[in-house]
Structure 1
Amino acid sequence: MNEQTPFFRREVEAARRSDWLGRPMLVNGPSAGAVALFSAVFVIAALCFVIFGDYTRRVRASGVILPAGGLTRLVAPQPGWVSELAVNEGDRVRRGQMLYALDIDTATARGNTQDAVTDILERKRTELHRALAAQREFDQAARQRLQDQLASLGRELPQLRAQIQTAEDFAGQLEDFAERQRRNLDRGMGLASDYESRLQALQAQRAELARLRREEVQLAGQRDALTSELAGFDPEAEARLAALQAQLLDVEQQLSEAEARRALRITAPRDGMVTAIITRAGQTVAEGTPLLTIVPDDQPLVAQLVAPGGSVGFLREGADVLLRYPAFPYQKFGQYPGRISVISRANLRGDEVADLAPAADPDKGPSLFRVTVAPDRPFVMAYGKPEPLQAGMQVEAHLLLDSRPIWQWILEPLFGLKGAFAQAAPEHAHEP
């Protein structure tokens, strides 16, 4: 074998050059049998879900947490004029706490004497308030005037001292000129008139310098006086205001005593939370006029819900309810079970709807009914701790209505058509 003949054949070398590509493989797609099996399983699962699965229809309702025994509604005990409302919506009150002041002052032959006394005291109080405001404005203006004067003196004094320094320098120069003029005069090289004029200019400059120094002393004295006056201004102003405020307090006390002699105090009959304030200060009331409502604290809490009339027929006492509390978002704190305890069979009045669901409009949409739900737990678990429910807390609920298989829900339109045809058939049969 010579040197030019290769050791391997050309076919071997060509085959080795394509080894890096690997061996070819045939990939087959999914078989028709596997696809058919998967489709059959899917269809069977869907049919089982439709046949054996069921769906519970729900309706959403909203309301408020209230005591089981109801609310305490206060009315006016006798005719009068409401002179004061001492509480606000949502306030918590204790038994015996004042709620209203009812003016029951009677007129005599000389008129309402207590009203006249009260009017005089109120005018005096108004005048004292005006005097206080005017005194404050006067004191503020006087203080600002003193501060402005002191600031002005603070600017004038440096300028005056600069003038004094300039005058002293100029007086020194004049004195040097006069001394040189005297020496020249002694040598016979100058005139006596020139020397006299130099002396006169020097004297005039010294007089001006003395005037400037006196003015500096005066300005410094004024500055010290203003500083002292400003330091004692605030205590004097406070004393003047305190005297007026003492007079105002005395008038306020007299007014309180006058009001107590003519007003009837209406107090809270029990502990609870104030809500639904109807009567405000300034209104005239007759005996029995509603005033406000108190939510008591000593009774178990229930959810008073407002439900649309279309769903009441499917509700049953003891049915399960899922409660949500907007104060504790259900996405984070979950829903809480409850059971329907009472279902009202009479629709709610407008004022009752306003008490339970202010956002609902009884004049629009279907009639609204009261549904009472007893929560299984009187608390909400928040961050691992039970937070008790509070009277007046807003609540939302999903009322669980009828449960039916899914296939019945799907075929419900056909059942409806069948019923419509069955109802229409007798009508056509009676036609001539």
Structure 2
Amino acid sequence: MVARGKHLYRPEYFEAQKISNEGRILLNTSFNQNIYFVLSILVLIAVIIFISFAEYIRRETLVGIVSPIGGMVKVQANDSGFVEQLFVKEGDRVESMTPLYEIKTERFDDTGVGVKKRILVSIEKQYQLLFERKKQEIQKADFEREALTDDINRLDDEVSILHNVLKLSNSELELTRSLFNKQKPLFNKKFISEVEYQKKQLELYSKESQVQIHKLNIQKLIREKEKLIFTLKSTDINLSLMLKDIDKQLEVITQNKVEFISQSDSQVLSPIKGVIASILAVEGHSVSNGQTLLVISPDSEKAFIELYAPSRSIGFIKVGQKVRLRFDAFPYEKFGVQAGIITSISKSAIAADMISNHGLVNNTEVGGLYQVRVELLKPTITVYGREERFVSGMTVIADVELDTRKIYEWMLEPLYTIKGKV
């Protein structure tokens, strides 16, 4: 009894445990299951190959606008006031220095009278008074010249008459001298008295005296004529000097008027040759100094695309890189996508509100924007069989390839990011 109590199980139990009559369970798989298994293996291999060799291209979508060579030119007001006259309309072709606007800068005093207008009226009166004086001086000189000319002509007539008188006096003198010479022999022979002889001699002296008096009168008339001629020339010279002085004063007044008008009325001129693209201020509008009045598109057949890239992608954009362009005016679903090449990239970023076309830029962008210029590979687009040029101002959406990476690199990017932060 004591010996059997040493073992909990019988010896036969242990012998039975050494013998195993059980076999392995075998399940027969169907043909479909085998196909599914093989396909799963192939898919797994394909996924591994795809992840290992496939590439992912990261793209950035940029917005921009078609701009002419030289860019769109904004014409600004050079003074504050209101637009009195607009000389052009949209679509007009203008030359350089063509008048575009007339801006009035009139100011009024307490009585409501325009101060500049009052000054301008005063300048006009000064000019008119001087101009009237000039006319009067010319009329006065004409009268004096006419009177002097008449006097000179009168003296010419008198001199001519005196010459005739002198000629007659000389004839009388010769005749008297001849008679006197004939009387002398008679006097010597005592045929005539001494008194009668002396009378003939006095008559001769009288004739000689008359001849000398006529000569003297002729000389006086000639001197008087020369004096009148000198006075006539002096009158012309004095008139010329007077007119020059008046013209100088008129020129000064005109210059003051021009300067005053240039300060009070500002005329805006076209800085370049081109086409009026858009007008922002019309007649009657109040404008301030530096305000944009209109936009001019330079007269150029060539155009480029001006894109704006954010800071996050500018490091991957390179000069010479190809760009795919979609124009809003020509839907790409119908007319296709155009191609271009990046020609330049700005060296520094600027704020979005400082860009001339800031309305195209997403206001949610943080940081500055870089200007990217793209040259079109083809300056036209085929629209229903005809070639159409791109017009300045057309909006553009561009797709730019930034970088190419393997799929597994893209999948492991979060790990690289964590590693970089650590």
- The two structures have a TM-score, normalised by structure 2, of 0.50
Bigger-Rg structure (1/2) = 2
